[in-house]
Homo-oligomer: A and B are copies of this chain.
Amino acid sequence: MNFSRPIIFVTNDDGYQARGIHVLIEEMRKIGTVIAIAPRVGRSGMSHAITFSEPLRLRKVESAEHFEFYEFSGTPVDCVKMGLDKFFKTTIKPDLLVSGINHGSNASICSIYSGTVSAAREGAINGVPSIAFSLTDFHPDADFEPYRTHIQTIARAVIEKNTLPENVFLNVNFPKVENAEDLREIRVCRQTKGVWIEEFDRRTDPQNVDYFWLMGHFDNYEPNAEDSDEYCLKQKHTAVVPLRIETTDNEALVKLQKIIQ
């Protein structure tokens, strides 16, 4: 491993065979040495889950000059923890961690359910500048070509300009566009306020026992907020939201100290 080049750690939550991570690896190999560890299978919706009650398996799937690629049986956050433990020490860290490109939007409140975003959060917790990339298109054969320039711009801004404050990481979402020319600007914006409304789909199995599928739809509380990520995406801008890992609400803290004692 050549440590004179930037070291970039790559992961995702759609699994090591997903198209999105291969595009992201290609882009990162233009910048530095790439170590990739991705889940063996799709682990969408795993959020910040970790695996400590079952053993985990790691297998190398590809290697080349300045490049190693592994699949791991754990969650996306497990992949980050394995990468940091196997290849780095607490004093030597990757110069950048990128996660994705996710097949499907992780804007607004999806950022808390997403394994892709959580992998970036885990990077930030460990002091690594981290970015999650997602495309608002769930299709396994989604076209990632239009977004290569924006990926380069954002990744280089983080790695070369050292733009990220400690404990902050980026949640980047790309709008679905037909052609690269339809993609507009990069907009730094805030997370849209909204909620997923669940409606479980109840069915009956051949043994006459009920089972449920989790379904839902997104309720955007502020569809016209121009500084929100959902709005930027609708306008065909790339939405970049800086998210924090520290979540104590200081205002509530002061208020509650007077009430609960």
Which residues of chain B are near A165, meaning CB under 8 Å?
Answer: 249, 251-252, 255
Which residues of chain B are near A242, meaning CB under 8 Å?
Answer: 248-249, 252-253, 256
Residue A31 lies at the interface, judged by CB distance under 8 Å to chain B: no
Segment of A4-12, A17-25, A210-218 engaged in the interface with chain B: A210-218
Copies in the complex: 2
> Is the contact region of chain A dominated by helix, strand, or loop, or is it mixed?
mixed
Residue A208 lies at the interface, judged by CB distance under 8 Å to chain B: no
A205's closest neighbor in chain B, by CB?
B55
Segment of A61-69, A76-84, A140-148, A175-183 engaged in the interface with chain B: A76-84
Interchain CA distance A161-B260 in the complex, whole Å: 10
Contact with A45, one of B50, B198, B257, B259 (Cβ below 8 angstroms): B50
Kindly identify, within residues 32 to 57 of chain A, every residue whose CB is under 8 Å from any CB belonging to chain B: 42, 44-53, 55-57
| A255 with B58, Cβ < 8 A, contacts A53-B44, A185-B261, A243-B247 known | no
A243's closest neighbor in chain B, by CB?
B247
Does A200 lie within 8 Å of B248, measured CB to CB? no
Does B50 lie within 8 Å of A48, measured CB to CB? no
Does A212 lie within 8 Å of B55, measured CB to CB? yes
| A84 with B198, Cβ < 8 A, contacts A189-B253, A256-B188 known | yes
Q: What are 23 residue pairs bridging A and B, where the CB atoms are less than 8 Å apart in the complex?
A: A42-B53, A44-B52, A45-B49, A46-B49, A48-B48, A48-B113, A49-B49, A55-B203, A56-B214, A77-B113, A81-B214, A81-B216, A85-B198, A85-B199, A109-B125, A111-B247, A161-B259, A163-B259, A165-B252, A193-B246, A242-B256, A243-B249, A244-B247
Known: A48-B48, A191-B247. 5 other contacts (CB 8 A): A45-B51, A47-B47, A82-B200, A157-B259, A242-B248
